[in-house]
Structure 1
């Protein structure tokens, strides 16, 4: 059995039977092609797989290693199910490793407030043309939606108009793996902006089918959304590099700080496992530490000489 031939069959299986997105299949293909480039085209044994794992850990960060291992394991699971191999070599290989906890980067509340205030002020500038005001309205709608829902930028850019119910304030999201989830827009001001945006871009939205469109009437791209946010962050002279995904992290973290049940946050984010959502508990713990270190009244109590006498 040549792995290269089976990989092509597996990718077709992912596309036509599992109906995975092209972006996911492209990532699988890159990972699997790298795998056979490194280990060769013959069915690997335990020793070869262990050598490949060592190679990955030397070359990449933990998150990337985890993804690449998952891609290869999925291939061999498919080969086993199709009875193309007698024994799955991964059954004899330990792939789990202790991962470093990397805390998600969030946008401070004051910077979010500055950003939104700046956007709304920009739209109210009388000297701007109606076309420019229209684009700014779109930009406000994008930022408000990201912060209000915790959407992935890919989910926002692929959000179809037929899945947007502004009357009831509900979005139907087509998430990872084709999983659907429903999100509620809970703020009336955000709903008003989305209604104003939809009315302003009604013709473009109907023609394209996607809810968020660019200045040419096509679907808004992820890169355009990133560039737009980067531009406005520069205009308010934010001291951090703001990305669309940071709105998702901020959404989850600030809900956690308000004692929202983690299961609800998991559902809203579309996480398959609660373990993924639990990363935000680390962030709130760090916030608690900061509060206690800087704002606790004990920090203002001066013991003076009594403390010195006790120490010595």
Structure 2
């Protein structure tokens, strides 16, 4: 059978049998597009694909100067494809079984937002809100929405895609209870506990109620559509500049900051794992390595050597 037909069947399997998210399906399709450009791969019969050709493809990926993480993802998608072929008995032996692939990722520690910058950002947006004379304009409504998004990112550690895709049915505004559909369609719950954060979410809902109930998405843009991940990113950049925050901010940095600050407060890492929706504790453990200032403070104030004097 031709590779292109088998890939089409695999995408169908991922979408309708494994129920993978639309975002994941789109990423798979993008990765296969790069494979298509390699030696007319899609035109080959599957029997022509062996480990020699696959190794050649991996070398081909390195020629684009891609990040190791991107190469690792593309290889993982290809592995999943061949696992599917083997399981469906389309091929007898998965060629990846005879390959040893080790792609070392750069050990880039997650960047967090300094607490002074979070305060500066929130102070600016709340002051801007309070300076509005009229609460009827869309400008006022939009800043309420923007504050609600910022509060949610900081108080829950949600991914920007999770915030953007929240439905009205996912949120209980009175209890602060939020149901989240994370990666791999894994559901988790998290609570907004600060009263000021809950108040801004309630005010936002009251201003956008008709659009929200019509479109079902909780966060809405000027056109009454879903407030997208890109729009949230641009919104944060806008307030970063207006508040004169001297640090480049992204939505994901709120998530990193959420995890790091909870860890610094002594919260068990397994609770943080659950709140972030990490499948593996090893993913969460990266936050144990990122704050050298905190480490210095702990060692200087808690280490027993400070009580020993020999002079």
TM-score (norm 2): 0.90
Question: Structure 1 80/209 Cα, relative in aligned 2: closer, same or farther at 3 Å?
Answer: same
Which residue of structure 2 aligns with residue 104 of structure 1? 110
| 1:21-40 to 2 correspondences below 5 Å | 21-39=21-39, 40=41
Taking the aligned partners of 2:23 and 2:109, their CA distance within structure 1 comes to 26
Counterparts of 1:12 and 1:259, CA distance in 2? 45
Per-residue deviation, 1:100:
2.0
Q: Secondary structure at the match of 2:290?
A: helix
* Structure 2 alignment gaps of length 5 or more: 303-311
Name the counterpart of 1:265: 272
* Contact 1:160 1:211 (C-alpha < 8 Å) held by counterparts: yes
State the alpha-carbon separation in 2 of the partners of residues 162 and 288 from structure 1: 39
Residue in structure 1 matching 2:157, options 150, 157, 171: 150
SS in 1 for 2:107: coil
Say what the alpha-carbon RMSD is for the aligned residues.
2.1
Question: Corresponding residue for 1:113?
Answer: 119
Corresponding pairs, count: 297
Structure 2: distance between partners of 1:160 and 1:114: 30
2:309 aligned residue: none
2:132, 2:140 within 8 Å by CA — same for their partners in 1? Answer: no
**Within the alignment, does 1:66 sit opposite 2:54 as a pair?**
no
Q: Is the 8 A contact 1:49 1:93 kept in 2?
A: no
Partner Cα separation in structure 2 for residue 292 and residue 54 of structure 1: 46
Q: Is the 8 A contact 1:150 1:251 kept in 2?
A: yes
Q: CA deviation at 1:288?
A: 3.4
> Is the CA contact 1:118–1:236 (under 8 Å) kept in the aligned structure 2?
yes
**What does residue 279 of structure 1 align with?**
286
Q: Is the 8 A contact 2:68 2:103 kept in 1?
A: no
Q: Deviations for 1:278-311, whole angstroms, at most 9, x for unmatched residues? A: 1111213x33355479x779xxxxxxxxxxxxxx
Matched, 1:125 2:128: no
Which has the larger displacement, 249-258 or 111-120?
A: 249-258
Task: Give me the TM-score of the superposition, normalised by structure 1.
Answer: 0.89
Q: How big is the shift at 1:128?
A: 5.6
Which structure 1 residue ranges, 5 or more long, are not aligned? 298-312
Structure 2: distance between partners of 1:52 and 1:192:
54
Indicate which of 66, 82, 87 corresponds to 1:81. 87
